[in-house]
Amino acid sequence: MNWKARAAQLKTDIPALWLCLRAKETPLLAKVLAAVTVGYALSPVDLIPDFIPVLGYLDDILLLPALVALTLRCIPKETLEHYRAEAAGLWVDGKPKKWYCALPVVALWALGLYLLAKLCRRGG
């Protein structure tokens, strides 16, 4: 599989991981890994900031695909294939059909900003 095909597969695998995260058939370890992977993929904060030349994109090129590959190995094949097929239909006409999938990420960021603001108030 070439790089373009792998990148295209990531666009389906990350939503599939989100769907597998909610499935009862997914083992606990796979759910934890899926939560970390999807959270990292959707997070605007990178482990290595993108503005650092060359190194900034290494996490996008190496870390995210490695997390996805590790998580996919932990999910039963039948479950993964079912949710890959469902994930392929999530985007229609460039818009997600299930936009509410982003709510947990938005909620985590809102909680983080709230705690940061609370910490700043207490320190000042």
Digit-coded pLDDT (tens) for 10-46: 888 888 998 898 889 999 999 999 988 888 887 777 7
65/97 Cα distance (integer angstroms):
24
Report the C-alpha dihedral over residues 46, 52, 58, 60, rounded to 10 degrees. 40
Query: How far is the C-alpha of 78 from the C-alpha of 58, rounded, in Å?
Result: 32
- Convert the pLDDT of each residue in 36-81 to its tens digit: 888 888 777 777 777 777 777 777 788 888 999 999 999 999 999 9
pTM of the predicted structure, to 2 decimals: 0.68
Separation of alpha carbons 91 and 67, rounded Å: 23
Per-residue pLDDT for 94 more than 60?
yes
Q: What is the pLDDT of residue 76?
A: 94
